[in-house]
Structure 1
Amino acid sequence: MTSRNSYHHGDLRQAVLAAALDVIAAEGPGALSLRDLARRAGVSHAAPAHHFKDRTGLLTAIAAQGYELLADALADAPELRERGVRYVRFAVAHPAHFTVMFQPELLRADDPDLVAAREHASAELRAGVASLPSATAAPDDAAALPGTDPVRDAPDARTVGIAAWSLAHGFATLLLTHNLDGAVGEREPGEVFRTLTGLMFGTEPPHGGPARMNG
């Protein structure tokens, strides 16, 4: 527990966030209680409400922080596959944030900080799709396939992004729920994901994150 003397007034918000992340990592977001977090941070039971108003406000702040951390993790990644690797590594490094970020029923959807942070992360992910030679380019042999239209049948950037996000997010979720413990073993998860995408798509695949998150 954080003692009453171990923080300054300006650090209270972060102290409560840190305590909340510990609880979520150990017991899930359903176990959060502002009163319990105040006890953990060594402050009065009303103090967390001063910064977050209520439990929803606290979870929204955690999600916003998570999206900013994700954006930072993805920044300057050279291509879409690497964004997928970094997405997986972010989930492993920040499991409590990851758990909260994608549960909209827990959050205040119109919170300005959350909206801005989500868009920041989405912009980094869309940049990965934009890095492809052509998000709407048809396969080389499409024109030779009977009944195909190279332009009409080629996937657009948004569809590519959704497919790539599904792969990275699904892999990360399976990791965090311990469904891949045996398959991954002691190997570094990001490298396992890199190998997986290589096996599925070869050396020039569209791997990684979504074109836009949550819509």
Structure 2
Amino acid sequence: MNVLPQLPPLVEDLSLAYRLRPASGEPAGLVLLLHGVGSNEASLAGLAALLPASLSVALVRSPIPMGPASFSAFAVNFTASGPVIDADAAEASRVRLLAFIEELQVRTGIEAGKTVVAGFSQGGIMSAGAALTRPQAVRGFAILSGRILPEITPALASPEALAQLDALIVHGSFDDRLPVSWADRSHAWLKELGVRFEDRRYPAGHEVTPQIARDFVEWTTGLLIST
């Protein structure tokens, strides 16, 4: 996604650093956008710019520095048998993200029922992990070219709690980083858990195309503003 000409200032006094685009007038909701591994919060600024002005949007920086302007939520190695992660770091980042969501809701005065957490690649992984283990913290979540970590299984919420969530799975059919089979697994798992979700596939790679961006905005707007 193209970045905004001028990013909001970086705020670093909560559990995670972030940049906030406040809503114009009374906020209709809050959207948290999480970036992929090795990137930073600015990478999703173009997506933030497409969301309605009535929504407050937080561009969230992952907690682990990897290099100049490069961050992650956990280390990952891509092997022939699939991604291998630092599970302890992933769990620590999940807990930290949940703390941050609550802190930001308090700061903005926007309730959990009007909050969506979403992310690209590793950001989608973190969004799913937060929502599926504490569904009372958000209204819904979106996985853009990501997956759901099986490591969160012991912390999954009850079926009754998960029934309040809405989710979006978005994946490119030609993704060479996280193959589309991961979206198939997410689809099957959310169905088993009883989570309402939409599953959309695109003739794309590991990326957020203009069509993916438009569809994400439409889904988010429908969830937070139209309901």
TM-score (norm 1): 0.32
Computing the radius of gyration from Cα coordinates, the structure with the larger value is: 1
Q: Which has the higher contact order (CA 8 A, sep 6+)?
A: 1
